[in-house]
Copies of this chain bind each other. A is one copy, B any other.
Amino acid sequence: MSAGQQLYDFAALIYPICRSITGNGVRETLRLVGQRIPLQVREVPTGSRAFDWEVPLEWNIEDAYVMDPQGRRVVDFQEHNLHIVSYSEPVSVSMPREELVARLHALPEHPDWIPYRTSYYRRSWGFCMRQRDLERLPAGSYRVEIKSRLERGSLTYAEAVIPGRTRDEVLFFAHVCHPSLANDNTSGVSIATALARWVAGEPRRYTYRFVFAPGTIGSLCWLARNESRLKRVRHGMVLALLGDPGPLTYKMSRRESSEIDAVAQYVLSAMDPRAQVIGFSPYGYDERQLCSPGFDLPVGRLTRSVNGGYSQYHSSADDLSLIRPEFLAQSYEACQRIISILETDGRYVNLSPKGEPLLGKRGLYGSVGGRSPAEREHALLWVLNQSDGSRSLLDIARRSGIDFQRVCEAASALQNAGLLAPQGRKRDASSKGGAQRATGVRKLQSKRGGR
């Protein structure tokens, strides 16, 4: 089965669950994620502080409906999760149509779609319905039943941590608080899950942390509980809206000059001429919190269409027909490529910086002169020339126009030939008294044969 189909299938599996920012829908979703990757689930009790916020009462719902004067269920939670305004309080009441209408949300411009509405932080209730159904409601008295519970409980989030050679972290965030919306949370959850599984099988320098949390309050809880660890976050991305037909879109971190910004820009432009990179803005998903000025993490966001950028956004039309395996697969590949560059990019130092070293003698350069060198040979010259510790391999790839992969291969060949060292390692060596560095140089000199 293709990667895209697998991503789609998991999105489809969790699509029907009625999620909110707290409650059993989130727990069930995380249980299914946890069947695929090792997951630590956290419960944060109602009333816990998270900076300016606190965890609200836990919300769960069994049933909800509106019954018309003829006894027909004209709005029915059993038919679609979106029919109920999320966090609606329990209600059992009768009221005339005129009074009821103030509690009903619809989309006049899309009469067949049910909108998605919430009232997390003000106790209230309401229903969402199709405009065409709303207009047909007969006059008379209506019965409203909402069998929900708002009780002390907890907010649930989860983390998958895949340790690497270092404690430096790459952070991925996916929100898990939306009920039956396919692009707007199941696509991100599915791709984050698959990435965690893939990265666990790859050699890696970084530790990878995948957080599955309700939007806003969930990321604030995570931030509050991990504040001392944030300095380890070297790069990150919020993952959302990754299955629709829109072009790949990377939204920059608040700094707009983080390494992840450069890497994502490079990968997207190589993958798709339609791809776009957009500036940071303080609205969107959990980058709102991660990039607030008090944290300012180097975290961007990958989407296809942006939030609010497609007509089906936050409505029942954001269903499983909107997302497609091939788009999920391309989004997933973009993440993989970004990770690959983050893992391999680095700054190097030319250990033979005075003039070019003699590459032919080391088998790195063709012996017949007069012809144009191959791109492989150009890559060697670029890496040697630019590696003064100030420019990364990605910088060199972008400046030279040579593919990053080929630049990496050149750096690797030069390292094997003793001509190049990672900037950090060299610094380590010299801090140990320069002994290793001196040895390295001597080794180089002994290689210079009689040609």
Contact = CB atoms under 8 A, between A and B. Distances in A.
Contact of A368 (B56, B119, B386): B119
Contacts of A283: 373, 378, 381
A372 B311 CA distance: 12
Interface stretch (A29-37, A191-199, A259-267, A355-363): A355-363
Contacts of A308: 372
Contact of A355 (B53, B350, B399): B53
A220 B373 CA distance: 20
A273 interface: no
A449 B210 CA distance: 32
A387 B254 CA distance: 12
B223 A293 contact: no
A217 B370 CA distance: 15
A370 B314 contact: yes
A207 to B, nearest CB: 23
B354 A223 contact: yes
Interface in A365-418: 367-373, 378, 381-382, 384-388, 399-400
Interface residues of A, number: 71
A360 B121 contact: yes
A105 to B, nearest CB: 8
Given A282-B382, A283-B378, A118 B354 contact: no
A385 B254 contact: yes
Given A281-B400, A372-B308, A121 B358 contact: yes
Contact of A448 (B54, B220, B381, B399): B54
A388 B295 CA distance: 11
Nearest to A384: B282
Contact of A370 (B115, B281, B360): B115
A37 to B, nearest CB: 27
Contacts of A450: 47, 54
A450 B371 CA distance: 76
Contacts of A56: 451
A117 interface: yes
Contact of A385 (B118, B291, B360, B372): B291
A50 B381 contact: no
A118 B368 contact: yes
A388 B121 contact: no
Contacts of A220: 355
Contacts of A356: 52, 216, 288-289, 292
Contacts of A371: 117, 314
The 10 A-B residue pairs whose C-beta atoms are closest, nearest first, are: A294-B353, A282-B385, A294-B354, A118-B369, A122-B367, A282-B381, A52-B357, A117-B370, A293-B388, A293-B353
15 contacts: A51-B357, A52-B356, A53-B358, A54-B448, A54-B450, A116-B370, A117-B368, A121-B451, A122-B451, A282-B382, A292-B353, A292-B354, A292-B356, A293-B386, A294-B353
Given A51-B357, A293-B384, 10 more contacts: A52-B358, A53-B358, A54-B451, A118-B369, A120-B369, A121-B367, A122-B367, A282-B381, A289-B356, A293-B353
